[in-house]
Amino acid sequence: MKKIIMGAVIACLPFTSSAYAEDPQEGGTINVVVQPEPPSLMIGMYSNATTQQVGGNIFEGLMRYDKDLNPHPLLATAWENSEDGKTWTFHLKEGVVWHDGKPFTSADVVFSIDKLLRETNARLRGSLAFVDSITAPDDYTVVFQLNQPFGPFIRLFEVGTTPMLPKHIYAGTDYKLNPANHHPIGTGPFVFKEWKKGSFIHLAKNENYHVKGLPHIDELYWHVIPDAASRSVAFETGKIDVLPGGSVENFDVPRLTELDNACVTTDGWEFFSPHAWLWLNNRQGPTSDKRFRQAVMYSMDREFAKSVLWNDYGKIAKGPVGSKTKFYDDSLPNYEYNPEKAKALLAEMGYDGTPVRLMAMPYGETWQRWTEVIKQNLEEVGIKTQIVSTDVAGWNQKIGDWDYDISFTYLYQYGDPALGVSRTYLSNNIAKGSPWNNAEGYVNKQVDQWFNEAAVAFPDAKRAELYSKAQHQIVEDVPVAWLMELEFPTIYNCKVQNLVDSAIGVNDAFGTAWIKQ
């Protein structure tokens, strides 16, 4: 058996005090904005960005990943892969307890991944298609038997993708109705204390945390401040210490970063590579016609949105794979801003002026403005448009129920098309109830074949060839209308030290953060 033992690199793990330039100080409270208020903290069922931000400090995955996407131990201390690449064995950390005091064991890992997450996590489900069995030969060993080698497998185990969930609480229950969804119990550095809806979420230091000496801070408050201007003022006045990426309007970013006490970083998004697009319902109405979808692409002035709405934080997206994600094909054709081409395509298809519903993303004023810009772009080429507004829960439900024509979204890419891209386009990932799968209803069997072959192809040159074919076909079919590769600066009070030390940023940051007095 070929062994890849990771325990020896634990000194490199950001979850250790040896990584600090100076000794961290203990105690204190960090106040963070969460915008919008998450629909739930149950990270195993909800993939909203804000659910991951808060929940990622309560729950944990088997590993953390550095900014180069290298894995480091957390709940797993070491792992090994067989010579044929089909058997992965994970060795778990002993002495870990859930927040209710029950021991964390291999039974929780098997249950979390093979039972609960297979059912509730649409993105992970696609990757688990390569896993035939997950077994636990003892309390601290888990064996994954793959049906064929799967290159991205080792990158599946961060908290947002594969959170560990307590079997003793969820087994045999209706997962979605379990009371623990409102009082989450994880193994992470912070324990859930209180959620005052519309005001704050309070987390407290886990006194029994399995990493010695962590966390450093006593309390963590996530503040719900619906008004964008008030969020900026809260940071200026010191009420708020951390503004996660996307929590203030882009036009406020230059002013806030110039404050004397302000630090800023765009680090911590390496694993996500956020990709924004418009869902286009491929099933019915005008959006079911490829020519209409192409017309939408030609109608949008994306450069205007980038420079005016996003202050040039980001890059125009060319297609389904982001430029920071493996196997991105730079040779894809461009859909330039060309209203005349859009009008010609609409005339060719015989578009009769049927109105389409354009659903805004309920994540703040920048998204609302973007919705208004797109509405104007569409109407300038003759597409009648009605804006639909909703809250986060309503947005989730409408997308999951396919009750929309066009809707904004952004999804994470997770470093590899097999992890974060294919889920949006594989026809076997069409299932009602989730806004994070193939919610547009795109079906192309050839694309399915390319994606499935590319996930397991060897070497990488073969994967690149297959992914290139898939990208070119998808750009021709326009199942969704790509907007931008987003960049989100995190702004924070400089007294907060060691804030971003992994590839998922604030989503698991506060276990190692400390306050400099």
Amino acid identity at 222: W
CA dist 25 and 35 (Å) reads 29
Could you tell me if residue 388 is inside a domain?
Answer: yes
Please check whether residue 495 is in contact with residue 516, taking contact to mean a CB–CB distance below 8 angstroms.
yes
Residue 21 has what pLDDT?
Answer: 59
Residue 266 has what pLDDT?
Answer: 87
Could you tell me if residue 515 is inside a domain?
Answer: no
**Closest C-alpha to 191, from 97, 58, 42, 101:** 58
182 exposure class (CB count in 10 Å sphere: 0-12, 13-18, 19+):
exposed
Please check whether residue 40 is in contact with residue 181, taking contact to mean a CB–CB distance below 8 angstroms.
yes
H helix and E strand count, the chain: 15, 21
Per the rule left: phi > 0, alpha: psi between -120 and 50, beta: everything else, 386 is beta
**pLDDT tens digits along 88-122:** 999 999 999 999 999 999 999 999 999 999 999 87
Neighbouring-strand partners of residue 32: 222, 242
Residue that is written with structure tokens 């969930």 in the block: 165
Per the prediction, the chain carries an average pLDDT of: 93
Mean pLDDT computed over 456-484? 96
Could you tell me if residue 304 is inside a domain?
Answer: yes
Total count of domains within the chain: 1
Q: Tell whether the model's pLDDT for residue 17 goes beyond 50.
A: no
**pLDDT tens digits along 168-210:** 999 999 999 999 999 999 999 999 999 999 999 999 999 999 9
Could you tell me if residue 129 is inside a domain?
Answer: no
Could you tell me if residue 279 is inside a domain?
Answer: yes
Q: Tell whether the model's pLDDT for residue 19 goes beyond 70.
A: no
Residue 30: DSSP 8-state: E
Q: Residue 468 is part of a domain; what is its CATH number? A: 3.10.105.10
Task: Give residue 20's pLDDT band: very low, low, confident or very high (50, 70, 90).
Answer: low
Residue 9 has what pLDDT?
Answer: 34
- Pair type for strands 87-92 and 141-146: antiparallel
**pLDDT tens digits along 274-310:** 999 999 999 999 999 999 999 999 999 999 999 999 9
Residue 281 has what pLDDT?
Answer: 98
Please check whether residue 294 is in contact with residue 478, taking contact to mean a CB–CB distance below 8 angstroms.
yes
**pLDDT tens digits along 121-177:** 877 888 898 999 999 999 999 999 999 999 899 999 999 999 999 999 999 999 999
Sequential DSSP letters for 156-187: --STTTS----HHHHTTS-GGG-GGGGS---S
Could you tell me if residue 492 is inside a domain?
Answer: no
Task: Give residue 246's pLDDT band: very low, low, confident or very high (50, 70, 90).
Answer: confident
Q: Tell whether the model's pLDDT for residue 5 goes beyond 80.
A: no
Strands (E), 331-436: 356-359, 385-388, 406-411
Q: Name the more confident of 363 and 4.
A: 363
Residue 125 has what pLDDT?
Answer: 87
Could you tell me if residue 171 is inside a domain?
Answer: no
CA dist 317 and 483 (Å) reads 6
Residue range(s) defining the domain that contains residue 303 = 275-486
Residue 131 has what pLDDT?
Answer: 96
Mean pLDDT computed over 55-77? 95
Residue 357 has what pLDDT?
Answer: 98
**pLDDT tens digits along 322-366:** 998 999 999 999 999 999 999 999 999 999 999 999 999 998 888
Mean pLDDT computed over 34-52? 92
Residue 48 has what pLDDT?
Answer: 86
Please check whether residue 131 is in contact with residue 144, taking contact to mean a CB–CB distance below 8 angstroms.
yes
The alpha carbon of 235 is separated from its chain's Cα centroid by a whole number of angstroms, namely: 25
Could you tell me if residue 424 is inside a domain?
Answer: yes
